[in-house]
Amino acid sequence: MTGGHHEREGALFSARQLAVIAWVTATSVVFFNVFIKFVNRQLLGNPYGTPVYWPVSIFVFRLGRLRLGWAIPMLVAAVGVFAVTAWYLREERTRLAPVVVAGVVLLVCSNLLHGFTHGFVVPLSTREGYYQLAATVVDPVAFVRTYEANQLSYVVHARTHPPGTVLTFTLLDRVFGSRPVVTAAIAALSLPTSAALVYRLVGTYYERSVAQYTTLLFVLLPAVQVFYLATIDAVIATLLLGSVYFFTRESWWWSLATLACLLVAASQLFLFVFVLPILAGIAFFRREKLLPLVGIGVGLVACYLVVKFGLGYDYLHSLSIASDQQNPDGFMLLADPSDYVFSRFEDIVELGLFFTPFLCLLAARGLRDLWGDLRPEGRWWLVDTGEREPFVIAAAAVVGFCAMLVAGVYHTGETARGALYIYPYLCLPVAAVVHRLRPGFRDRWLLAGAVFGQTLLLQLLGSYLW
């Protein structure tokens, strides 16, 4: 585990600081919403270039249509479950099970605030969603063989993903047969598995009490509570997290598990390559991981060739079709510079909003502290793995995501949903701060309450899926 550089008891945030952060965030979002709309509409003559509810690109305001018969009981239940969890974890500071149970129950409660139909049926009833296409698939092999030829005629979401996303919903539909059960199945599979992986990954470098609390913050995130129900992105985020966690293990068998996770993730998302810099960063400093990394690369290439010549599906050509569909006029920076700049800013702010400003500040502080711990060591690349690796993983994730933004990715849909996979890695620097400060019970639950309070507020306001 990581050594105790600068360990001391202290508060994460005081109640006053949390209130100030919330106020500054709210006023800043309102200001930039108005300012960017003004620049786009009045100065650039682009009245449709900014989302109405900037920085949230996909949103339907529903507060005025709130059904009190659902909202009040579910809100009371959510607050009650949160309070009971806080009381129980006051003494039990290491076990994962209570955190998972609380996360799942709160996920259900927060998504039932607008009623059962809106929470469990509507997310899979959207016109452009995978589920609509999945129900029409009769022969999965034929579907894969003809995917490239028909890709641009499919629903919007399917056009920019490999065929595995649709086939996953086809499988779930055949197994469970109804939208509400499929919605629940995705949450039941993804949230506990992701929570367990976050717990184990953080526990690799820090003590179990820190791992438990960090996992609690993770399951309370707005991004998790909103998007871990019904979306394929929750499954993808879990697979990518699994690939990183398994790669940090010592045995070759775990490297095979990494390859398996990557292959399944690749069938769902072209941007699975996001985790490759993380794996490369780990291998660069742990030389015994270089050979497994090469083996994983060979396995990915071999699978590509098997699928291409065995099934007739060219993954790279399909990626090219998806890219052209997203960028019909070419690279966005050259085709529409103003939209490129504004959408990059929007992506970053939306991602941060669903991570909460409180944890954004902690993550930034954690990265600074982790780097500060390494620099005085001189040749920091020779520092013990437990000291260095949290920084390497988190920094590689941030750099990888920024590289995607520079390349023009994420400009037509929910960034917080599409980039759901980045949030677990941002939890590592948060864990580093918790490890150093050793906050007491009150400080821990003030922060947890602020995070979940924002989640409930966002859930009450409306819908974020299309």
**What's the pLDDT tens digit per position in 268-311?**
999 999 999 999 999 998 889 999 999 999 999 999 999 999 99
pLDDT value, residue 326:
84
pLDDT value, residue 167:
96
3-class SS at 61?
A: strand
Reported as a pLDDT band with limits 50, 70 and 90, residue 202 is very high
Number of domains observed in the structure of the chain: 1
Contact 239, 265 (CB under 8 A): yes
Does 8 reside within a domain? no
Angle at 427 between CA 369 and CA 443, to 5 degrees: 75
Q: How far apart are the first and last CA of the chain?
A: 42
3-class SS at 354?
A: coil
- β partners of residue 60: 463
Could you give phi then psi for residue 322, rounded to 5 degrees? -60, -40
Catalogue the long-range contacts made by 376-380 (C-beta closer than 8 Å, 24 or more residues apart). Answer: none
Does 98 reside within a domain? yes
pLDDT value, residue 386:
64
pLDDT value, residue 69:
93
- DSSP H or E stretch at residue 463: strand 462-463
Q: Is the pLDDT of residue 210 over 60?
A: yes
Does 409 reside within a domain? yes
Cα 208 to Cα 441: distance, rounded to the nearest angstrom: 16
Query: Please, what sign has the CA dihedral across residues 35, 41, 45, 46?
Result: positive
More reliable by pLDDT, 167 or 325: 167
Does 37 reside within a domain? yes
What's the whole-model pTM score?
Answer: 0.94
Q: Is the pLDDT of residue 8 over 70?
A: no
Domain that holds residue 21: 15-463
- Residue that the structure tokens 């919330």 belong to: 22
Q: Is the pLDDT of residue 48 over 90?
A: no
